[in-house]
Amino acid sequence: MRIRCLFLALIAGVAAAWATEPADTVVSVANPHSVVVMQRGDSTVVDISGAGANKRFKFHYAVAPDTVADDGLSVDMPFFSRPPVGKGRKMREVTAFKGIYGGMVFPVRDQGRLALSWEVGVNSLIGYSVRRGGAGVSVGVGFGYRRMAMDGNLILEKSGDQLIAGAAPDGTSDVSAHIGSWAIHLPVMYTQRLHRSFGFSIGVVANFNFYTTASMEYRSGDVKYSSSIKGLHQRILTPDILFTVGSVGNAGLYVRWSPVRSFSGRFGPEYSFVSTGVSLAF
């Protein structure tokens, strides 16, 4: 009786680790000759030999994460390892701090006026995802900052409502200028695990550019000049196409393509860009 109770307790404990409902009784064996519990990969295996006078009695049972449903709402934080969801099972999650990124920005279609730049942010500060098996769809709200540096000897000035880039005055040195932009991210992403944690994520990120400034400085002789320009008319909404590959939920490499130019021709420099870098907890 003690062995039988122990066996049932083991089975219930294993099932309770993955399920939200109490486990059912799997089998009841009186006077087993031997009970062996083993861990094989993600599965827990129980083998019973003999039952009372029946020496030929054999029982084999295995339970794995993909045999139990988890349809409840859970919270998924960065780097918190979760078991994969079984086939046909759906998991709903509230996510936080997903897709923390930083990388280099390569300007395109900019007429050679911009240099290599950088960006940082978090794609989904708070979000919601639905997963089934190794696939999932998520939405979220995040933010990011992008600093676009001007190339060479260029400075930035405002003429009416237009931000223009022009050559620095003759005889100047230590010239630098950049455009900094803050944006709210609204990503809609599809994530697919291919093998264990390895997989990819692809989707569209809508950017609401809410604060953009331009800054410049240069030196003429012993005098240093600097200025900051506000009230710029960057496009309010710009979309990105985002692709990330690596260890899902841990770290990966991302490529972001922003096909829409940040300014229209009448309000500022015309450019779009491609960026790449590291994404954590994507």
Q: State the maximum Cα–Cα separation within the chain, in Å, rounded to a whole number.
A: 104
Q: What is the pLDDT of residues 70-109, one digit of tens each?
A: 455 667 767 654 545 555 578 899 999 999 999 999 998 8
**Sheet of strand 43-51: strand arrangement:** 32-40, 43-51, 54-63
For residue 31, give both structure tokens. Answer: 């006077």
Rounded to whole angstroms, how far apart are CA atoms 211 and 202? 27
Q: What is the pTM of this model?
A: 0.70
Identify the three-state secondary structure at position 30: coil
**Sequence ranges of the domains in the chain:** 2-65, 73-280
In this predicted structure, what is the pLDDT of residue 88? 59
Q: What is the pLDDT of residues 6-28, one digit of tens each?
A: 344 444 443 443 344 445 567 78
For residue 107, give both structure tokens. Answer: 């300007």
Contact 44, 7 (CB under 8 A): no
Give the percent of the chain with pLDDT over 90.
47
In this predicted structure, what is the pLDDT of residue 216? 92
Rounded to whole angstroms, how far apart are CA atoms 261 and 238? 8
In this predicted structure, what is the pLDDT of residue 79? 60
Cα angle vertex 178, ends 264, 147, to 5°?
Answer: 85
Average pLDDT by stretches of 10, the chain with 282 residues = 44 43 64 82 78 79 58 65 58 92 92 90 96 92 96 88 88 91 98 94 97 93 90 94 96 96 85 95 92
In this predicted structure, what is the pLDDT of residue 44? 84
Rounded to whole angstroms, how far apart are CA atoms 121 and 143? 6
Place of tokens 């009372």: 52
| Amino acid making up residue 213 | T
